[in-house]
Structure 1
Amino acid sequence: MDWQDFAQQMATMARDLSAQDCVSDMFELITTSATELVEGCDAAGVLVMREDRVRTLAATEQWVTDSDRLQERLQEGPCFDAARHRDGERVYRVVDMTAPHQRWPAFASSARGLGVGSMVGVLLFTEDDNLGALNLYARHPGRFNEVGEASAWVLASHAAVALSSARVHEQLEQAIASRHVIGEAMGILMAGHGLAENEAFNVLRRFSQNHNIKLREVARHVAELGALPRPEHGGSGSPGT
């Protein structure tokens, strides 16, 4: 594929990303696009880290997920390091999985059993977010050249911007939904107990703080059941608690 074709396909992918309804669909499109756009790529996945725990958000093949689990168990590997942004690098690679590897020796020797010949991990990030890693796999050694890695980096950069925007959109929708349910709960308390608006909100806020329950969860309970949750230690669940 020449660069003109690549650019056209990238433009198509960018439009398709913006048309997706949820983040999970975006991840699936990104990984599928990687196998189509990056020369030598047989499979792809997106991995994120939560402390030292690995979560596979999308994978085109089961052995991609198996590789993620392996890196989590061994606490080493190119995708593992890419997702943690260790050493400040943005691209991590294993050119030949069949040869001894100094940086990830345990992973390289075990990954051969999964059928991995070579791989590249590319950081998914924006200026404000580290979103994980886009990981590309090949069945045979030496499949990813400089052009392939450059293609992967361009793909990851487009994907990171789209994912970051989608996450902001989801957070905004969640905030709007929370605001709506809090307003509904306040209305129930105002009608049922003759409270003013600020008094109803303070009832929800105090209950949230005193019982270590998120405000939106307290509000959801009131909206659904018409009363404050019953504290674990007992109590009436009335606005005076």
Structure 2
Amino acid sequence: MNEAGAADFAHIAMALHGADGVGATLDRIAELARATVDCDMCGVMVVHKGKRVETAAVTSELVRRADELQIEVGEGPCLQAIEAQSVFIIADTMTEDRWPVWSRAVVDLGVRSVLSIRLFTRQQTIGSLNLYSAQPNHFTPADAAIGGIFAGHASVALAAAQTESGLREAMESRHLIGLAQGILMERFDLDQEQAFAVLRRYSQDRNIKLRSVAQHVVQERALPE
């Protein structure tokens, strides 16, 4: 990579890390990927707990529909990039034979070529970056190489945003639980440990998240019915 290219990716990395929160980071990944790798549309698929896959950011609703079709028919390059931990190029959906059902379906949407790249860190597979073109034979090995570098920056930025979000949520949950404990301690003359035990018992008996029980206590000044 030449100096100009390195500088471009340095700016991209700064822009990705500068987004505020997971949602904003996902949107910025899609927008910058479209600008960095020449394509018509772009989307980001993410993997949730239980291996549930979701299209989390798109530059066009057509991308969302194309991704939904992959989930519906159980095949496609975006899913395969996640599962096989690789990069896939479809030169022409009209003649693609690795995922024939999905490929023929998206022809009707105007999708003719696709580049799908896994998003991952050493610790986890995050999802896939998926670029679409209305022209057949649009994506080249050079596009895949540039896309791979971009995906590396995007993966790090998204993983950092997810970690920060998780830490923030954990802190907010602890604060909420602490408030609920204080309410129960005052109302029922309990100590801190007893108040937490009450919250935990309600959570377990009713199969409700502890945070949700605490939130109810704080909002209603009473335990859930």
TM-score under structure 1 length normalisation: 0.87
Q: Which residue of 1 aligns with 2:156?
A: 161
Q: Distance in 2 between matches of 1:215 and 1:168?
A: 21
Equivalent position amino acid for 1:222 in 2: V
- Report SS of the residue matched to 2:147: helix
User: 1:233 corresponds to which residue?
Assistant: none
CA positional deviation for 1:52: 7.8
Three-state SS of the structure 1 residue aligned to 2:162 is helix
Instruction: Find the structure with the greater CA-based Rg.
Output: 1
Letter in structure 1 aligned against 2:9: M
- Which segments of structure 1 move beyond 2 Å, counting only runs of 4 or more? 2-7, 48-55
What residue in structure 1 maps to residue 88 of structure 2?
Answer: 92
2:47–2:125 CA contact under 8 A, matched in 1: no
| 1:71–1:3 distance in 2 versus 1, CA, 3 Å | farther
| 1:58-97 matched pairs, under 5 angstroms | 58-83=57-82, 85=83, 88-97=84-93
Residue 213 of structure 2 corresponds to 218
CA RMSD for the aligned pairs? 1.8
Distance 1:3 1:71 in 2: 37
Cα offset, 1:121, TM superposition: 0.7
Q: Which has the higher contact order (CA 8 A, sep 6+)?
A: 2
> What is the total number of aligned residue pairs between the two structures?
224
Cα deviations by residue, 1:137-185 (Å, 9 ceiling, x for unpaired): 1111111111110111111111111111111110101110010011111
Deviation at 1:210, TM superposition (A): 2.0
Say which SS state the counterpart of residue 201 (structure 2) adopts.
helix
Distance 2:224 2:61 in 1: 43
Residue of structure 1 equivalent to 2:168: 173
Q: Provide the C-alpha distance between the structure 1 equivalents of 2:206 and 2:68, rounded to a whole number of angstroms.
A: 37
| Secondary structure of the corresponding residue to residue 206 of structure 1 | helix
> Which letter maps to 1:63?
L
Aligned match of 1:234: none
Q: Which residue of 2 aligns with 1:35?
A: 34
Structure 2 unaligned regions, length at least 5? none
TM-superposed CA distance for 1:53, in Å, is 5.9
1:12-60 alpha-carbon deviations (Å, 9 max, x no partner): 121112221121111121111112111x422110013566865221111
1:64-123 Cα distance to aligned partner (Å, 9 max, x none): 11211221222111012223x1xx331122112232x22111122222111112111111
Give distance in 2, aligned partners of 1:55 and 1:120.
18
Distance (whole Å) between structure 2 residues aligned to residue 220 and residue 92 of structure 1: 45
Equivalent-residue separation in structure 2 for 1:42 and 1:188 (angstroms): 55
Aligned residue number for residue 237 of structure 1: none
Could you tell me which residue of structure 2 aligns to residue 45 of structure 1? 43
Q: TM-score normalised to the size of structure 2?
A: 0.92
Equivalences for residues 165-204 of structure 1 within 5 A: 165-204=160-199
Task: Give the secondary structure class of the aligned counterpart of 1:137.
Answer: strand
Q: Which residue identity lines up with residue 14 of structure 1 in the other structure? A: A
State the distance in 2 between where 1:71 and 1:80 align: 7
